[in-house]
């Protein structure tokens, strides 16, 4: 009986030692790098967008033109549905007033604000010119729509980067 008790205690100690070793291995192993801090100007933009979490309020404020259906690019990610305020697509940039709001469709059909897009038509700043910049970022040319574009993922973290075109955490 003493032998059985000693074996049980030894087995329990081995299990505890194994759990501690595994726990320490997880803590001392490589970790995912922390996301860089969000620039203050992007935090200010995010704050101005609070009312637009509601698509109805966004439409009431003039973001009432659906420019695209949900845009997806396979494994690279998606963007979502784009709703623009056409009066703002004038070549003038304001870091707190984006031309386009981007929404992700949910399972229930509700749309969630995930980010914004700043746009400048090639007709106002030719593709051959220097790209516009905002938040220290150069805009990307979009030949399909004839625009300079800059995405900012204000409401959905993007492992590809705050200003990346596509977000793998957005789904259509």
Q: Where are the domains of the chain?
A: 1-31, 40-152
In the prediction, which pLDDT does 37 show?
A: 78
Q: What is the pTM of this model?
A: 0.79
Radius of gyration of the chain (CA): 24
In the prediction, which pLDDT does 35 show?
A: 62
CA distance linking residue 57 with residue 46, whole number of Å: 16
In the prediction, which pLDDT does 166 show?
A: 97
Report CA-CA distances (Å) from 73 to 17, 163, 168.
47, 16, 9
Low-confidence ranges of the chain (pLDDT < 70): 1-36
């Amino acid at each position: 009986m003493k032998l059985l008790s000693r074996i049980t205690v030894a087995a329990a100690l081995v299990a505890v030692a194994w759990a501690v070793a595994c726990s320490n291995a997880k803590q001392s192993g490589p970790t995912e790098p922390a996301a860089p801090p969000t620039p203050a100007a992007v935090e200010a933009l995010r704050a101005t967008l609070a009312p637009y979490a509601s698509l109805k309020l966004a439409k009431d404020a003039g973001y009432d033109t659906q420019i695209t259906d949900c845009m997806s690019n396979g494994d690279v990610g998606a963007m979502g549905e784009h709703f623009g305020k056409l009066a703002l697509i004038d070549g003038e940039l304001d870091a707190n007033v984006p031309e386009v709001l981007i929404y992700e469709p949910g399972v229930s059909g509700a749309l969630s604000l995930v980010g914004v897009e700043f746009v400048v038509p090639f007709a106002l700043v030719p593709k051959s010119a220097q790209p516009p910049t905002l938040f220290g970022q150069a805009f990307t040319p979009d030949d399909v729509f004839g625009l300079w574009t800059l995405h900012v993922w204000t409401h959905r973290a993007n492992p590809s980067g705050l200003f990346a075109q596509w977000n793998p955490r957005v789904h259509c």
